[in-house]
Amino acid sequence: MAVKDRVPMKEQDPKERRKNFDEVALGYTEEEAILEASRCIQCPKPTCVAGCPVHVRIPEFIKAITKREFEEAYKIIKSTNSLPAVCGRVCPQEEQCEKNCVLNKIGKPIAIGRLERFVADYALQNNIEEEVKPEKKNKKVAIIGGGPAGLTCAGDLLKMGYYVTIFEALHALGGVLTYGIPEFRLPKRIVEAEIERLKKLGAKVETNVVVGRTVTIDQLMEEEGFEAVFVGTGAGLPKLMDIPGKNLNGVYSANEFLTRINLMKAYKFPEYDTPIVVGKRVAVIGGGNVAMDAARSALRLDGVEEVTVVYRRSKEEMPARAEEIEHAIEEGIKFEFLANPIRINGTEDGWVKSMDVIRMELGEPDSSGRRRPIEIPGSEFTIEVDTVIMALGTSPNNLIPSTTKDVEIQKWGGIIADETGKTSKPGVFAGGDAVTGAATVILAMGAGKQAAKAIDEYLRNKK
Amino acid sequence: MCDMYKIVRKEILNPVVKLMDIEAPRVAKSAKPGQFVIIRIYDKGERIPLTIADYDPEKGTVTIVFQEVGKSTKLLGTLNEGDYILDFVGPLGNFMEVPKEARKILGVGGGVGIPALYPKLKMLHQEGYRVEAILGGRSEEYVIFKKEMEAVCDKVYYATDDGTLGKKGFVTDVLKEVLENDKEIDYIITVGPVIMMKNVCKMTKEYNIPTIVSMNPLMVDGTGMCGACRIEVGGETKFVCMDGPIFDGHLVNFDLAMTRLNMFKKQEKVSLELYEQHHGGDHHGR
Ligand SMILES: Cc1cc2nc3c(=O)[nH]c(=O)nc-3n(C[C@H](O)[C@H](O)[C@H](O)COP(=O)(O)OP(=O)(O)OC[C@H]3O[C@@H](n4cnc5c(N)ncnc54)[C@H](O)[C@@H]3O)c2cc1C
Ligand SMILES: Cc1cc2nc3c(=O)[nH]c(=O)nc-3n(C[C@H](O)[C@H](O)[C@H](O)COP(=O)(O)OP(=O)(O)OC[C@H]3O[C@@H](n4cnc5c(N)ncnc54)[C@H](O)[C@@H]3O)c2cc1C
Ligand code: SF4
Ligand code: SF4
Ligand code: FES
Ligand SMILES: [Mg+2]
């Protein structure tokens, strides 16, 4: 194989996979991984590393793969990335590590994400554990929220010897990894295996605790002896489009739709008790990962014949991972670009019947650098749909700030924290989507790591 | 994840309504009148919301009262003292505040809305307000929590469909008489079926008496994350689990609320039929 080309990864056939929730990408074999790894030219000054938010030592782990030292490769990755099996699958690599690979100049970059996934899966299959026996420090830290930020912060603090309790509002840990990202992209057994590891490290887990309602941060610190707190509560509050018909039966937020499917397993109804209803024609509004996940999940449900993604800009501006867009197209998802819904029309008994949409054109770039969509007057048209899913983004919930003394927030709801995670309240740290707004798994993880360091420092200096 | 929630008391209040005390110390400690919990009975179960009917922070228990209407509530009804519920989260929602200057408060409750109304009236009574109530149901047997309510109300009126207790008719028939005769009532709280709350609010609006209601939409997470629970209040969309469940009844769009409650009717029927095929008959009066 030419150096220019990547070793392809096997995938389930699109015709087959659009009928099931099994993982789409099947992973490399050992031989495939070694072959792909051998394309890396081991740059002395590797530019790829700078593109990774947690600076995975990319050439080093790739070199270990070429030598068939998979366990060693795992240790190298784990030294900076606590959730490689997850990141290898869901990082927007084309924007990060792979974007910076020198091979882009002559052909395709090294498939860094796929190699990372291979190594992590190898470690899971062969039960490779890092050995840590830290000296116990007699101090308790509370982690609020069991998403990637919280899990990473908890893991690092456990390895430093702290007593850690994770408080999670839902009945399961994982945050978006559990309730948002579908099984066919990130199998839940991977997330569960990471959580089991944390428990083996000694994490105490209290699910069904909504901090701010069940107990407050002030109570945890003043009454329950937690000396520091990490807030990793994410950005879960869905935005809904303010158009007529938004509350008709058959209109879901992507969060509701995906939570029913992923967390509650509604795709296995009636074996599982949580129902979901979809009609023959489904429209998904939005262009990010969430929209792709909702569209591809909808396609896999019984009775659905057609799924259309309605996005107000063009394909080039779509923020979703390149791979997800490709997969969606292969599976037969339709796209209506440069179109924006203005009204959802209902039947007499309150169900979605159709959606009025207006054509857009792209104007000057806006603050995000993307060209701003502008309505074309008089270009309205109607699409027949039975189900509408809104995937327009999410923002942080104000439950914690509104019930904790002295935690300051931004106007849009994000918790104010410095780059180490320190908030305005002594002993309280925060990171991930709760601070940045909806972002990525790897950034949330990076924030959890930073905060663990800062918490350690804080507790060492505190008498 | 491994902690479960023990049923420490079970009572059968009538052929379709049961009461349970559940061991959940954190919830019992923080609960306030008007708040609710979400439970999941077993690993394939759905998350269903139930109002906190009472709570004892010392014993660490929370009381729930539920009507068996579908698969989840019927399954819950088959559990007994000593059994466990897998998940029990709360207290959720805002709690209730009543204006200080209210002179006399009237509670209007129907069906399982009565135990949901109870902790609110109990608190108001303890705070020194004058409290009266109108309670309604199909027949005497279906009007639950009578003793509890009488203990915290200065006066309790009844209305039953068949006239076996109090006036024959709806709570709104009694409400009309009470409002005509008693001009001191200046604040109303109503909890019950949506159609009842709608009719109560229609009447109290005519009398211009502020009225709050407790809404019961479909829910999934109960933490503001999904929007399943949205209703319209004064033309604005609200999430009941975060902004409610208590709202100004004169602003709620009840018709929309009723439509949204029907979203999964077909699936709920399938779920119940399958359940009853496998557990034929054993849900009655256990
Ligand atoms: C559908 C979907 C697809 C995505 N796809 C990708 C992708 O492909 N690649 C990528 O990099 N990123 C993706 N993202 C974004 C990524 O998942 C998030 O940026 C990341 O999960 C943020 O992590 P977090 O730990 O900050 O928060 P979350 O993952 O949101 O976790 C927060 C946790 O805190 C809990 N919580 C909230 N409030 C409380 C409280 N008061 N008390 C206790 N617990 C509380 C929540 O229940 C939740 O479990 C996707 C997001 C979604 C929704
Ligand atoms: C804040 C709140 C407090 C409530 N308090 C009580 C209470 O104290 N006692 C009581 O008996 N009932 C209460 N309910 C209603 C109770 O949650 C439903 O009766 C129950 O979920 C029905 O589940 P099922 O599977 O037995 O019946 P199903 O056959 O699934 O449903 C029957 C009907 O119940 C409603 N329902 C179903 N699933 C849900 C859900 N996930 N969330 C909300 N409603 C649903 C729908 O209208 C449905 O048509 C409350 C609801 C809310 C939102
Ligand atoms: S963590 Fe993400 S960005 Fe970093 S090397 Fe791995 S796949 Fe690339
Ligand atoms: S930039 Fe590309 S070729 Fe160079 S070390 Fe990184 S992965 Fe290897
Ligand atoms: S139940 Fe999900 S937001 Fe209220
Ligand atoms: Mg049900």
Tens of pLDDT along B67-102?
999 999 999 999 999 999 999 999 999 887 888 888
- Same domain for A407 and A335? no
- Same domain for A264 and A362? yes
Q: Which atom of ligand 1 is nearest to the CA of A174?
A: 49
**Of A89-93, A238-242, B99-103, which gets the smallest average pLDDT?**
B99-103
Domains of chain B (ranges; CATH) run 5-92 (2.40.30.10), 94-214 (3.40.50.80)
Question: Is the residue at A422 inside a domain?
Answer: yes
Here the tokens at position A185 are 């992209």
pLDDT of amino acid A27: 95
Chain A (356-375) residues lying within 8 Å, Cβ to Cβ, of chain B: none
- The pocket around ligand 2, CB under 6 angstroms, is made up of B 36, 46, 48-51, 65-67, 69-73, 112, 116, 216-219, 245, 261, 265, 268, 272
- Same domain for A173 and A253? no
Could you read off the pLDDT of B9-36 as tens digits, one per residue? 999 999 999 999 999 999 999 999 889 9
Give the 3-state secondary structure of chain A: CCCCCCCCCCECCHHHHCCCCCCCECCCCHHHHHHHHCCCCCCCCCHHHHHCCCCCCHHHHHHHHHCCCHHHHHHHHHCCCCCHHHHHHHCCHHHCCHHHCHHHHCCCCCCHHHHHHHHHHHHHHCCCCCCCCCCCCCCEEEEECCCHHHHHHHHHHHHHCCEEEEECCCCCCCCHHHHCCCCCCCCHHHHHHHHHHHHHCCCEEECCCCECCCECHHHHHHCCCEEEEEECCCCCEECCCCCCCCCCECEEEHHHHHHHHHHCCHHHCCCCCCCCCCCCEEEEECCCHHHHHHHHHHHCCCCCCEEEEECCCCHHHCCCCHHHHHHHHHHCCEEECCEEEEEEEECCCCEEEEEEEEEEEEEEECCCCCEEEEECCCCCEEEECCEEEECCCEECCCHHHHHCCCCCECCCCCECCCCCCECCCCCEEECCHHHHCCCCHHHHHHHHHHHHHHHHHHHHHCC
Could you read off the pLDDT of A381-415 as tens digits, one per residue? 999 999 999 999 999 999 999 999 899 999 999 99
Is B34's Cβ below 8 Å from some Cβ in A? Answer: no
Contacts of A250 in chain B (CB under 8 A): 263
- Same domain for A244 and A290? yes
Considering only alpha carbons, which residue of chain B is nearest residue A256? B226
> Domain of A112?
10-126
CB contact under 8 A, A273 and B87: no
How many other CB atoms are there within 10 angstroms of residue B69's CB atom?
12
Could you read off the pLDDT of A369-387 as tens digits, one per residue? 888 899 999 999 999 999 9
pLDDT of amino acid A3: 64
Asked whether the predicted pLDDT for residue B284 surpasses 80, the reply is no
CA distance B75 to A289: 37
Domain end marker among A126, A150, A184: A126
Question: Is the residue at A133 inside a domain?
Answer: no
Ligand nearest to the CA of A78: 3
Ligand 5: centre distance to CA B15 (Å): 31
- Same domain for A241 and A351? yes
Asked whether the predicted pLDDT for residue A139 surpasses 90, the reply is yes
pLDDT of amino acid B283: 46
Question: Is the residue at A3 inside a domain?
Answer: no
Could you read off the pLDDT of B258-281 as tens digits, one per residue? 999 999 999 999 999 999 998 765
CB contact under 8 A, A255 and B227: yes
On whether the CB atoms of residues A185 and A174 are closer than 8 A, the answer is no
pLDDT of amino acid A2: 53
CB contact under 8 A, A256 and B226: yes
Here the tokens at position A461 are 């200096």
Domain end marker among A92, A126, A160: A126
On whether the CB atoms of residues A287 and A313 are closer than 8 A, the answer is yes
pLDDT of amino acid B2: 43
- Same domain for A355 and A263? yes
| Least CB–CB distance from B225: residue in A215, A237, A276 | A237
Which ipTM did the prediction report?
0.95
On whether the CB atoms of residues B237 and B256 are closer than 8 A, the answer is no
- Same domain for A59 and A83? yes
Rounded mean pLDDT of chain B?
93
Contacts of A209 in chain B (CB under 8 A): 26, 89
Closest C-alpha to A169, from B223, B251, B216, B218: B223
The verdict on the CB of residue A103 being under 6 Å from ligand 4 is yes
Question: Is the residue at A264 inside a domain?
Answer: yes
Select from B50, B252, B267 the residue to mutate for testing ligand 2; criterion: most ligand atoms less than 8 Å from CB: B50
Asked whether the predicted pLDDT for residue B1 surpasses 70, the reply is no
pLDDT of amino acid B60: 96
**Of A25-39, A397-411, B199-213, which gets the smallest average pLDDT?**
A397-411
Percent of chain A topping pLDDT 70: 99
Here the tokens at position A41 are 């030219």
Asked whether the predicted pLDDT for residue B199 surpasses 50, the reply is yes
pLDDT of amino acid A143: 98
The verdict on the CB of residue A97 being under 6 Å from ligand 3 is yes
Closest C-alpha to A439, from A58, A92, A145, A54: A92
Residue A218 CB-density burial (10 A; 0-12 exposed, 13-18 middle, 19+ buried): middle
Question: Is the residue at A2 inside a domain?
Answer: no
Closest C-alpha to B220, from A437, A192, A261, A183: A261
Question: Is the residue at A36 inside a domain?
Answer: yes
Ligand 4: centre distance to CA A69 (Å): 18
CA distance A198 to A20: 30
Ligand nearest to the CA of B263: 2
- Same domain for A157 and A215? yes
pTM above 0.80, yes or no: yes
Hey, what amino acid is at A129? E
pLDDT of amino acid A255: 97
Domain end marker among A393, A413, A430: A393
CATH code, A160: 3.50.50.60
Binding-site residue ranges of B for FAD: 65-67
- Same domain for A106 and A30? yes
Ligand 3: centre distance to CA A447 (Å): 15
pLDDT of amino acid B285: 38
Tally of domains within chain A: 3
CA distance B264 to B53: 26
Indicate the pairing of strand B211-214 with strand B185-191.
parallel
| A422-436: average pLDDT | 96
Chain B (221-260) residues lying within 8 Å, Cβ to Cβ, of chain A: 221-228, 230-232, 237, 242, 256, 259-260
Select from A47, A101, A115, A116 the residue to mutate for testing ligand 4; criterion: most ligand atoms less than 8 Å from CB: A101
The sign one gets for the Cα dihedral B20, B26, B32, B38 is: negative
3-state secondary structure of B216: coil
pLDDT band (50, 70, 90) for residue A366? confident
Contacts of B237 in chain A (CB under 8 A): 240, 246-247
Residue nearest to atom 38 of ligand 2 (CA): B218
- Same domain for A263 and A367? yes
CATH code, A104: 1.10.1060.10
CB contact under 8 A, A169 and B223: yes
Chain B (100-159) residues lying within 8 Å, Cβ to Cβ, of chain A: none
- Same domain for A259 and A386? yes
Q: What are the start-end ranges of the H helices in chain B? A: 25-30, 71-78, 113-126, 146-152, 171-181, 194-206, 240-243, 254-261, 265-278
Ligand nearest to the CA of A57: 3
Q: Which atom of ligand 5 is nearest to the CA of B218?
A: 1
- Same domain for A118 and A149? no
Question: Is the residue at A48 inside a domain?
Answer: yes
Question: Is the residue at A4 inside a domain?
Answer: no
